[in-house]
Structure 1
Amino acid sequence: MVKVSMDADCGNSPKVAFLKTLNIAFAEGNVALISDSVTENIVWNMIGDKSIEGKPDFVKTLEAMKATKTKELVLKSIVTHGKEGATNGEMILENGEKYAFCDVYEFSNAKGSAIKTITSYVIEIKSK
């Protein structure tokens, strides 16, 4: 089980709750929940790495990522406005590696019921 911590939020935003659940699903490798949360034509831009287009390739990438186990997820902030949202935090893997991340989301509609695009910025935090 992944340890999850999050700074306090107002607690009354359905889109914030949606992104919190989505990030926890990423950390836990819950491919089914994640794939149910995106559109068929999802685009995932991993800055400095690659771009994934379409749900079949998106799911294939998620399945491959399941081998990387997360020990702890720290969500520092989640913000949403209209058809956009973003999360900022850190992930600590079971092997001790630590990463800072920021994911920027575009929802398919203002209700925020599905993700149309994800742009991910990930930086490894080196131990001193």
Structure 2
Amino acid sequence: MMDNHSKEMKLIIPKGCDNAPRKQIMIDFTIGVLTSQRSVILDYGHEDIVCHDLKEQNETAGRDSLLDDLDNEDDEIDTLEIYQVITHGKFASINGVITYSDGFKVDFCDVYTFTSAAKSGRVKEIKSYRI
């Protein structure tokens, strides 16, 4: 299942993100989570991934639980605008704004920890800030 949205999400990304593999992984993973792309989650997410929604004080533990949560999402996203993607070793962050089809906007910053600093490292933890 690619996603459960009826129209394609508009994507706005900063120039220069295509020259660093980890930055592209961050963008791909963020899009994958927002559009319920199972294959992306399976490719980049560690089986023991932990996702923290700090605003809602909610935690999802395990790739299967994350996939189950995404299957239950039905909010249609109109636009994802990414402001910055920052990577350093096994840590990375991505921030921007999500605009839903009803016009509601959510500013976000996700802080990622990978299993290693290597390009092959998988996403082990995400701390998600949403306002």
- TM superposition score normalised by structure 1: 0.88
- What residue number does 1:32 align with? 39
- What residue number does 1:80 align with? 87
Q: 1:74 offset after TM fit, Å?
A: 0.1
- Give SS of 1:11's match: helix
- Give SS of 1:91's match: strand
- What residue number does 1:20 align with? 27
Q: What is the aligned length?
A: 122
- Give SS of 1:96's match: coil
- What residue number does 1:61 align with? 69
Q: 1:27 offset after TM fit, Å?
A: 3.1
Identify the structure with the greater strand proportion. Answer: 1
2:105 pairs with one of 98, 101, 106: 98
Q: 1:112 offset after TM fit, Å?
A: 4.1
Indicate conservation of the 8 Å contact 1:72/1:93, yes or no. Answer: yes
- What residue number does 1:3 align with? 10
Q: 1:23 to 1:32 in 2, by over 3 A?
A: same
Q: 1:10 offset after TM fit, Å?
A: 5.3
- Give SS of 2:55's match: coil
- What residue number does 1:70 align with? 77
Most deviating of 24-33 and 81-90: 24-33
User: 2:92 and 2:40 mapped to 1: Cα distance?
Assistant: 18
Most deviating of 30-39 and 91-100: 30-39
Q: 1:32 offset after TM fit, Å?
A: 2.7
- TM superposition score normalised by structure 2: 0.86
Structure 1: 4+ residue segments shifted above 3 A: none
Cα RMSD after superposing both structures: 1.4
User: 1:112 and 1:75 mapped to 2: Cα distance?
Assistant: 21
Indicate conservation of the 8 Å contact 2:36/2:67, yes or no. Answer: no
Indicate conservation of the 8 Å contact 1:46/1:121, yes or no. Answer: yes
Indicate conservation of the 8 Å contact 1:31/1:63, yes or no. Answer: no
